[in-house]
């Protein structure tokens, strides 16, 4: 059955491809944040353990929203480790990292996702795809705020 939601097939496909990368990066950041939640050590353990839990819970909800938007556009959402690994630009976390390195890597991951959202945004605007634009705006706000909160921990 064809999809007629006021966008061309090409527009829907291009947006879905961008959202698939966003999904892969978000899921990889979710796994990395969860890993660091479990394995953080040092004098900031309790506060970081709690902070990372809040962040991975937020990401768990976000990946579902992104995947459902891809489906609404008429495409299959990537959902396996191998698909995520092929699409993601965020590297896995190393549980041996010290707390400072964990924080720095999570800042980088949050900022990466903001940049991916900004790359997809013009496609959504051109297609008058307000639902995707709204999703991207929400994601950028969340990731910019989280990056700021993590970045502050790195100040001396």
Task: Give the chain's domains with CATH numbers.
Answer: 28-153 (1.20.1260.10)
- How wide is the angle at C-alpha 69 spanned by C-alphas 16 and 84, nearest 5°? 60
Question: Over the stretch 117-150, which tens digit does the pLDDT of each residue have?
Answer: 999 999 999 999 999 999 999 999 999 999 999 9
- Contact of 23 with 78, CB cutoff 8 Å: yes
Q: What is the pLDDT of residue 130?
A: 98
Tell whether the model's pLDDT for residue 2 goes beyond 90: no
Q: What is the pLDDT of residue 1?
A: 74
The contacts of residue 99 (CB under 8 Å, 6+ apart) are 40, 41, 42, 44, 45, 48
Percent with pLDDT over 90 in the chain: 97
pTM, two decimals, is: 0.96
> Could you tell me the pLDDT band of residue 104, with boundaries at 50, 70 and 90?
very high
């Amino acid at each position: 059955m064809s999809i007629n939601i006021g966008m061309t097939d090409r527009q829907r496909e291009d947006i879905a491809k961008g959202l698939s990368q966003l999904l892969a990066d978000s899921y990889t950041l979710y796994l990395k944040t969860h890993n660091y939640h479990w394995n953080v050590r040092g004098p900031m353990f309790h506060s970081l353990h709690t902070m990372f839990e809040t962040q991975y819970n937020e990401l768990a909800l976000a990946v579902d929203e992104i995947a459902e938007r891809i489906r609404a556009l008429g495409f299959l959402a990537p959902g396996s480790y191998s698909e995520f690994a092929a699409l993601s630009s965020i590297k896995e976390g190393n549980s041996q990292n010290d707390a400072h390195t964990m924080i720095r890597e999570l800042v980088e991951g949050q900022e990466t996702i903001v940049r991916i959202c900004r790359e997809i945004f013009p496609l959504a605007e051109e297609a008058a795809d307000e639902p995707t634009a709204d999703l991207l705006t929400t994601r950028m706000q969340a990731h910019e705020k989280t990056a700021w909160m993590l970045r502050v921990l790195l100040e001396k």
